[in-house]
Amino acid sequence: MRRITYRQALREALQEEMERDARVFLMGEDVGIFGGNFKVSQGLIDKFGEERVRDTTLAETVIIGAGVGAAITGMRPVCEIMLADFVGVCFDEIYNKAGKWRYMHGCEVAVPMVIRTPMGCRGGGGAEHSQCPEALFLHGPGLKIALPSTPYDAKGLLKAAIRDDDPVVFFEHKLLYDLEGEVPEEEYIVPLGKAAIRREGQDVTILAYSFMVHKALAAAEALAANGIEAEVVDLRTLVPLDVETVLASARKTRRVVIIHEANKRGGAGAELAAIIQEKLFGVLAAPVIRVCAPDVPIPFSPALEKVYLPDEEKLQQAVRELLAK
């Protein structure tokens, strides 16, 4: 099968959906001729023109607010927020408008929009250019959240998100844009709400998403060398959450470790751990453990950033400690 990058996969998804549906259009800062800060939309303006690949003003509130307005009047906007940290500027528009407009206005209108945004540390970004803010939106009713970890999923999930009738916050990880992987030429979709078991194992379940899936797989390989077989579940989407797959794996291994790059307090891991213990309290052999960044702002210095980030060594250590219990 051919191999393309995560970035190319995203671009193909955008192009194919724009070809398929005239209501789909892109808007955001520098998404046009410049092709987006991470070059995901590069070349699309040549195919679709400035009408459908819109450079906006430097104004996140109107990027998302106008996206909601367009979505409730018959269009299917794909809005880009240059960095996930900037969701704070348009938080009301995502959390309250995109997420709640339908319900509070009588459940009649749909809000079919995608908010694409790059997240994560990639070295030296510091506190306001490196964050993973998915948990903020996990708490908000009405939103869906996708976090692809591979080129295959990047394309398939983005296509599903664009076709979905609900607002989807779509987190792309900056360190994945150059990742190559198998992506078929033919049309496919990765449905929202279906986790992928990336590695089977019976000793412990590792729940991960986005870039941390790769850290989890690296840790699992290292653990296997010591006779520990970890099952790695890539959640792919946090809303909808594939509770069935999560619980089936947890029931099988009776031990669960959750890894995410975002800081621990109030993170997605807290919700996952709560669901698992609510459903499987008597089944579990040990507490559900979280391997996450600490609750500090992300430091600039690479020396500190390395300490900050969860990685395969920290994950391995957590698994070993868990199995010793």
Partner 1 sequence: MLPEKNVLVELYRKMLLDRYLEEAMVELYRQGYIPGSLHLGIGHEALSIGTTVPLRRDDYLVFSHRGVGHSLGKGVPARTILAEFMGRATGCSLGKGGVHLSDFSVGCLGISGSQGGNIVIATGAGLSAKMRGTDQVTAVYFGEGTANRGCFHEGINQAAVWRLPVIFICENDLYSYSTHQSKIMLRENVADHAYGYGIPGVVVDGNDVLAVYEAMQEAIARARAGEGPTLIEGKTYRWRGHHEKDPALYRDPAEVEAWKQKCPIKRFELFLQAERIISPEEQASIQDEVRQEVQEAIDFALNSPFPQPEELYRGVYANPAGILDLI
Compute CA distances 29 → 81, 267, 300, whole Å.
Answer: 7, 28, 25
- Of 191 and 299, CB closest to partner 1: 191
88 binds partner 1 (CB under 8 A): no
- Of 75 and 224, CB closest to partner 1: 75
Q: Smallest gap, in angstroms, from Cβ of residue 272 to partner 1?
A: 12
114 binds partner 1 (CB under 8 A): no
Rounded to the nearest 5 percent, the helix, strand and coil shares of the chain are: 40, 20, 40
107 binds partner 1 (CB under 8 A): yes
- Of 75 and 218, CB closest to partner 1: 75
Q: Smallest gap, in angstroms, from Cβ of residue 163 to partner 1?
A: 9
Amino acid at 295: D
68 binds partner 1 (CB under 8 A): yes
- Of 223 and 258, CB closest to partner 1: 258
User: What backbone torsions phi and psi does residue 2 show, to the nearest 5 degrees?
Assistant: -70, 155
129 as an active site residue: the answer is: yes
Tokens (6 digits) for 155: 């394309």
Q: Rule CB under 8 A: choose which of 9, 183, 192, 216 binds partner 1.
A: 192
Smallest CA-to-CA distance from 205 within 169, 242, 171, 156 is with 242
What region does 55 belong to: left with phi over 0, alpha with psi -120 to 50, or beta?
A: beta
**Could you give the maximum distance between any two Cα atoms of the chain, in Å?**
60
The answer to whether the CB of 175 falls within 8 A of the CB of 30 is: no
Question: Kind of pairing, strands 168-173 and 144-146?
Answer: parallel
Residue numbers 211-270 binding partner 1 by CB under 8 A: 239-243
- Of 75 and 286, CB closest to partner 1: 75
Question: Kind of pairing, strands 230-234 and 204-208?
Answer: parallel
Q: Rule CB under 8 A: choose which of 13, 31, 45, 72 binds partner 1.
A: 72
Binding mask 9-48 for partner 1 (x = CB under 8 A): ----------------x-----------------------
Q: Rule CB under 8 A: choose which of 7, 11, 97, 214 binds partner 1.
A: 97
The answer to whether the CB of 312 falls within 8 A of the CB of 222 is: yes
Query: Catalytic site residues?
Result: 129
- Contacts with partner 1 by CB under 8 A lie at 25, 51-52, 56-57, 59, 61-62, 64-75, 77, 92-93, 96-97, 101-112, 141-142, 144, 164-166, 192-193, 239-243
